Amino acid sequence: MRFGVHLRQSGYDASPAALLHQASVIEELGYDSVWLFDHLIIPTTLQSLYKGTADGKWEFPPDAPYLEAVSVLAALAATTTRIRLGTRVLVPLYRPPVLLAKQLATIDAFSDGRLVLGFGTGWMQEEFEAVGSGFDRRLARFDEHISLLQGAWRDGLSSHDGEFYRHVEAGFFPRPSRPDHRIPILLGGIKDAILRRVAAYADGWAVFSPPSADHDAHGMILPELLEERLNTLHHFCDEAGRDFDELEIVTSGRFHDSPARFEEHAKLGVTTCDIVSFAPPSVVEDRARLFAEVVGTEM
């Protein structure tokens, strides 16, 4: 199991310079990947319930900076050389699929194939409405959106005429540089509906822990629940004729979590753990150094 670190792209102390410096430090320390969240606006009054906390509250100040994820990926592609660049998770439905297909393929080209895209269906209705995207039937829109992306990258010349999106036959070059012309897509969630989709068309699963009074959705998922969910995913892969062992499994944790708990995740087949911290960037860097010394960047 490899370790990555979530970058501080939000909060009063977030800045482009601090984020890029943090990414360079994490790369130099030998970590596998850096990861980003995705939000476009912060409403002053929020009616939607946040799925990441037990009480549904998401208390983020609307006047604090929140750097946009696709733009940050482009900056990271130009300023790093080795580390993988991930999202956990990007909400594709906030963006027109034709535009997003071109943006991500371009960033993948600049990064020499280092993108790994965690995608999620989103939860904030206010954000969907702000960008003019339908909040209803999100899973159906999500499936079609990703199908258009994958078709554009895979085929180069492609057309699409679906229920929600359409475009004339057109070229989408350059295609991603991998032999199968894919950019890896991981689906974020925990429920069967997401796991079935992972088995059907994705390249992996971005695990989110059910929130509790003790931790939010970015804490470590309990090993027994993770094992049960992985067994379910394995069953769905068998049904779909997919090789379960080809999937990337990404969980999350904190710098202070027990090494024994990380070992449990590794033994269950987790391939990557995204370490999340909401501390100031300089503190995250210090904690990343200590973690690399004590636990390592790979297990």
Please write the tens of the pLDDT for every residue from 155-182: 999 999 999 999 999 999 999 999 999 9
CA distances from residue 254 to 194, 219, 259 in whole angstroms, order as listed = 24, 7, 11
Find the mean pLDDT for residues 61-87.
97
| pLDDT band, very low/low/confident/very high, at 59 (cuts 50, 70, 90) | confident
pTM, two decimals, is 0.96
Domain count, the chain: 1
pLDDT in tens, 115-129: 999 999 999 999 999
> One-letter amino acid identity for 250?
V
Q: Is residue 223 within 8 Å of 268, Cβ to Cβ?
A: yes
The predicted structure's pLDDT at residue 142: 98
Give Cα 53 to chain centroid, integer Å: 18
pLDDT in tens, 268-287: 999 999 999 999 999 999 99
Q: What is the mean pLDDT of the chain?
A: 96
Residue with tokens 């393929």: 105
Is residue 32 included in any domain, yes or no?
A: yes
| pLDDT band, very low/low/confident/very high, at 215 (cuts 50, 70, 90) | confident
Is residue 148 included in any domain, yes or no?
A: yes
Domain containing 242 equals 2-294
234: which DSSP letter? H
CA-angle at 194, arms to 148 and 133, nearest 5° = 50
- The H or E element containing residue 88 is strand 84-90
Does the pLDDT value for residue 2 go beyond 90? yes
| Cα separation of the two ends of the chain | 5
The predicted structure's pLDDT at residue 214: 78
Is residue 299 included in any domain, yes or no?
A: no
The predicted structure's pLDDT at residue 119: 98
**Which are the contacts of 212, defined by CB distance < 8 A and separation ≥ 6?**
54
Check which CATH number belongs to the domain holding 84 and give it. Answer: 3.20.20.30
